[in-house]
Every structure is written in structure tokens, then in C-alpha cells.
């Protein structure tokens, strides 16, 4: 796969994992199955349990809850929080995959997009990270996390 430069379109956020070429996350246009109300409520409860575990700084419990939540019904914020939990537990590859999933589910979610971009930059995929940050700023010029990321990347 060729590497884009800043004058061409960005590589897709879900192209490949740095190094081994396997997919990071499903493509953006995946149609998610409908979920029953009971399954949705179960997923929501597990999501909030995972968020509470993250607030208590217990990433392992958060991972357990958030993975179960994703199995019931995957949402952008669930995948994003799962990425945060994986990162907090030192599982960078899993964090990158979960962040890619969150971004793939909703590329317009600024928080998920910039978190994915940060992880990509840390994994040596600075070009893709740069494009995601630029796209985020294009949508929301006042979003400071994107500006800070771009400034940090320029300072390298």
C-alpha cells in the first residue's frame, strides 16, 4: 500500500495495522444490525460499569465490561472507552484496534478521532494521524485537542 503525502487524499483510517498489514477496524460503511431493547439496556449497563471502572482506575475491569458491552451492541463511545482502557493497561495494539473501530463507526466524533490519531502517531503512522487531525479541525476549527496534536506533531 502506498503512503500518501500531504498533497493527496489521506489513507483510510481502517487500512492496515502498522507493521503487519492486517486490518485495524471495519470500513466506515458497515451497517450494524438492529438490537433489541433488552440487549441495548444490557449493553448500556455494561458500558456504564466500564466507565465507572475507568474512573476508579481499574482498566482490567473496564475492559471486561466494555468488551461484553461491545458484544451486545457496539457503539462509538463504547469502542472509544475500550481503547482508553486498553491503553491504560498497556495493551497498545488492542487500543489502536479499538480506537480504529470507534473512528470507523463515527469518524465525526472528535474525541474518538483525535484519540485514534494520537495512537496512530505513537505507532509511527504520523501521516494518517495528521490527516485525521486536519479533517477534525476542518469540521470543528475550535477543537483544541486537534490543534494541540498538530502542534505536537509539527514540533517533532
> pTM for this structure?
0.77
Q: Domain range holding 151?
A: 108-156
**Which band of pLDDT confidence, cut at 50, 70 and 90, is reported for residue 40?**
confident
Q: For residue 119, give the nearest of 96, 89, 94 by alpha carbon.
A: 96
Specify the pLDDT at position 71: 87
Any domain includes 20: no
Interval 132-143 mean pLDDT: 95
Q: 91 with 57, same domain?
A: yes
Single out the residue in 65, 80, 106 at which a domain terminates.
106
- Cα separation, 143 vs 70, in Å, equals 28
**Which band of pLDDT confidence, cut at 50, 70 and 90, is reported for residue 16?**
very low
Interval 39-62 mean pLDDT: 94
Any domain includes 84: yes
8 A C-beta contact, residue 110 and residue 145 = yes
Q: 145 with 115, same domain?
A: yes
Q: 39 with 94, same domain?
A: yes
Scan for cell 456504564, then name that residue.
48
Q: What is the DSSP letter of 25?
A: S
Q: 80 with 56, same domain?
A: yes
**What total of structural domains would you count in the chain?**
2
Assign residue 58 the CATH number of its domain. Answer: 1.25.40.10
Q: Where are the alpha helices (DSSP H) in the chain?
A: 37-55, 59-72, 76-88, 92-105, 110-122, 126-139, 144-155
Q: 52 with 73, same domain?
A: yes
Any domain includes 153: yes
Q: Where are the alpha helices (DSSP H) in 89-143?
A: 92-105, 110-122, 126-139
Question: What pLDDT digit, counting tens, does each position of 63-99 carry?
Answer: 999 999 988 888 899 999 999 999 999 999 999 999 9
Contacts of 89 (CB under 8 A, 6+ apart): 59, 60, 63
Cβ atoms within 10 Å of 31's Cβ, excluding its own: 5
Specify the pLDDT at position 37: 83
Q: For residue 85, give the nearest of 74, 71, 97, 103 by alpha carbon.
A: 97
Q: For residue 39, give the nearest of 79, 75, 64, 72 by alpha carbon.
A: 72
Q: What is the mean pLDDT of the chain?
A: 83
Amino acid at each position: 500500500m502506498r503512503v500518501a503525502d500531504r498533497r493527496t487524499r489521506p489513507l483510510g483510517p481502517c487500512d492496515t495495522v502498522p507493521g503487519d498489514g492486517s486490518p485495524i477496524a471495519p470500513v466506515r460503511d458497515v451497517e450494524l444490525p438492529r438490537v433489541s431493547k433488552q440487549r441495548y439496556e444490557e449493553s448500556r449497563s455494561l458500558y456504564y460499569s466500564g466507565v465507572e471502572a475507568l474512573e476508579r482506575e481499574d482498566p482490567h475491569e473496564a475492559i471486561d465490561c466494555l468488551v461484553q458491552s461491545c458484544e451486545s451492541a457496539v457503539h462509538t463511545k463504547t469502542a472509544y472507552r475500550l481503547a482508553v482502557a486498553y491503553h491504560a493497561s498497556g495493551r497498545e495494539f488492542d487500543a489502536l484496534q479499538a480506537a480504529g473501530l470507534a473512528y470507523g463507526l463515527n469518524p465525526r466524533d472528535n474525541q474518538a478521532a483525535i484519540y485514534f490519531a494520537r495512537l496512530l502517531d505513537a505507532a509511527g503512522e504520523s501521516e494518517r494521524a495528521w490527516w485525521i487531525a486536519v479533517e477534525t479541525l476542518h469540521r470543528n476549527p475550535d477543537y483544541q485537542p486537534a490543534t494541540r496534536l498538530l502542534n505536537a506533531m509539527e514540533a517533532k
